[in-house]
Amino acid sequence: MLCSFFRSASLAVAVLAMTSCGDDPITTPTLPTPEPVTEVFTGTLTVNGGATHVFNAATAGSLTATLTNIGPDENPTVGLSLGTWNGGACAIVIANDAAVRSSIVVGTVNQAGQLCVRIYDVGQIANPNDYEITVVHP
């Protein structure tokens, strides 16, 4: 009986120690927002070709891919897309099949994971074109 009294008393002290004194609100700490990461991908897009670049998102958040530069053709129309990387291919989620220099594709990442950006000929380039894609992600 005495043992159960001490257990009850210990429990009461623990509960009292956990309660707040006065009118101080209990707050949850705010986690800092991670700084966005900028990655630049370059390569050469060939006639009827395509290229995929894989990158890692550390958390959920917004994502943009910008066709920063392409040439020497005079601002050719190409495809630019964002998707998830499944280990062997880019599973396209958002695509712009009429991208030109400075075109932006915008999306939202739901969770951390491997993503990809893809550039591809949509039948509009006549020569190989060097490109630069800038991706900003969480």
**Mean pLDDT in residue range 92-117:** 97
Q: Are 65 and 57 in contact (CB under 8 A)?
A: no
Reading the block at residue 134, the tokens are 């800038």
Reference 67, options 103, 38, 34, 92; nearest CA is 103
Tell me the CATH number of domain 37-137, given options 2.30.40.10, 3.40.50.1000, 2.60.120.380, 2.60.40.10: 2.60.120.380
**Side chain identity at residue 133, one-letter code:** I
pLDDT per position as a tens digit, 4-50: 433 433 333 333 344 445 565 676 666 667 789 999 999 999 999 99
* C-beta of residue 63 within 8 angstroms of C-beta of residue 112: no
The pLDDT value given to residue 27: 66
Q: What is the DSSP string of 44-64?
A: EEPTT-EEEEEEEE-SSEEEE
Instruction: Return d(Cα 110, Cα 101) in angstroms, integer.
Output: 28
The pLDDT-based confidence of 95 (bands split at 50, 70, 90) is very high
Q: What percent of the chain is predicted at pLDDT more than 90?
A: 72
pLDDT in tens, 107-120: 999 999 999 999 99
